Amino acid sequence: MQQLTTLARDSRALAALAVPLALTQLAQVALTTTDTIMMGVLGTESLAAGGLALVIFNQLRTMGVGLVTSVGNQVAAAAARAEAANSGAEQADDEVRGLVRAALAVATLAGIAGAVLMILIGQAATLLGQAAAVAHRTQGMLAALAPGLLPCLWFQAIRQFTVGMRRPQALLQITLVSVAVNAALNWAFIHGSWGFPELGLTGIGVATSCVHLLSFLALYGSARRDPQLAPLLSLNAWKADAPTVRRLLGLGTPIAATYGSEAGFFSVTALLAGSFGAAALAAHTAVNQLIYIVFQVAVGLSHAASINVSRELALGEYAAARRIRSTALACGAAVMAVVGTLYLALPHLVLSPYFDPSSPDDQQGLSIATGLLAVVAVLQFFDCAQNIGVGLLRGLDDTKSGFRITLIGYWLVGLPAAWVFAYPLGGETRGLWLGLLTGLATTAVLLLRRYNQSLATRADTPAPGVCPV
């Protein structure tokens, strides 16, 4: 009974930060969901090409986000130390300002480099085994998405600052508005409505880039109006302190590599799915989008757990850090169980936004996607657990272990398993997803074991002046 009471109390504390973050993540994924649905309206070929472009964009965006993700942990730890000491507030404020400037400098460099890479990858799409018509459409979509990467990463840098200060509420409001704006701009650029040019599939990329810029401006404006955030918010990225930039890169590079390792794992399987034809790639795109939606709950839990672990360790509360792990995993499992039941009970309803059952052209893609849902219902448990595991290790400032473990789980176990299941065993697209499941399960187990070991070591050898509880 005492354990249940403790779990309920810890769940409420975790939810106070995780729920706004998860809802923000879900609102953000509604952007790409809207894009994907509108691609489907344009036809299977457009869905295949646009889906591939989004996979590549998300690959580079995710790695850029990883470079600034540690900012939230660093800000949270600085604030916790200042609160505990009841002094040194001015020094903590200077530290936070320096972190914001450094984060924006890193985001700027990553955004420029990523945009160039997107355009180059678009030029090489035909070399990636895609049909000529699909490759041509993918190239145009990537060129339209590329300019939006820079404001997207600026937004993420400011977001990490607000999360570290435990004031993420404006994120949800801004993202919800951006969903509506994105849908309207998509429609306008696709069809040439309201005086906008008619761009078809490419118009979706243009609309998305515009929304990323507007979202950044809205979040910056909101932070400037917040009396607690405004004094700490500095956009002088060119004045970033070199040691702080190096510190963020030292922490962020392994996170970016970890995120990139996971996104790359999914990107490669998307390319492999394309080798089975446009219908298989369309089915893979639709199911991957479903996973991406549910994954945002795990992201919210992961970020909240990570921030809370950073705060608890700054205060020497090792027992609380252990409970955060168990609470986050329990909450994640509960959500995944509900969603998995929905997949299995109502597969056609779940897939209806992406395929028209009455359309002969969509029948094959719908059939393949329906068969994948049983695998996905299991896979998402491990996907959630491994994401929480990465966040927990980030709370320990142990960002390198996550990267090493994902290399093992995704690339040494998952990708070979996907290839074996898909090709020699003849599983095709379903086999690819069985390989994904194998890789994610391996990664989850290794990450959580590493967290337990690292936390035990820290508890046995506390930092000077800190007494473990």
State residue 420's pLDDT score.
94
Predicted pLDDT at 148: 94
Residue 162 contacts residue 171 (beta carbons within 8 Å): yes
Distance CA 128, CA 272 (A): 9
User: Would you state the pLDDT for residue 464?
Assistant: 43
CA distance 424 to 154: 45
**Which single residue is written with the structure tokens 């969903």?**
179
Integer angstrom CA distances of residue 196 from 199, 203, 207: 9, 10, 11
The reported pLDDT for the residue numbered 388 is: 94
- From the number of C-beta atoms within 10 Å of its C-beta (0-12, 13-18, 19+), residue 2 rates as exposed
| Angstrom distance (rounded) from CA 145 to CA 55 | 11
Average pLDDT for runs of 10 along the chain of length 469: 68 76 76 82 82 85 89 82 61 78 92 92 72 80 93 92 82 86 92 87 91 93 89 80 89 85 80 84 86 86 88 80 89 92 90 79 84 92 94 89 90 94 88 93 95 82 44
CA distance 338 to 336: 5
- In tens, the pLDDT along 352-410 reads 888 877 777 678 888 889 889 999 999 999 999 999 999 999 888 888 888 899 899 99
The per-residue pLDDT for 77 is: 80
Judged by phi (left if over 0) then psi (alpha if -120 to 50, else beta), residue 290 lies in: alpha
Gyration radius (Cα) of the chain, Å: 22
Q: Which pLDDT value is given to residue 7?
A: 67
pLDDT single digits (tens) 47-56: 888 888 888 8
- Mapped onto helix, strand or coil, the DSSP state of residue 359 is coil
Distance from C-alpha of 227 to C-alpha of 46, rounded to nearest angstrom: 46
Residue 365: predicted pLDDT: 84
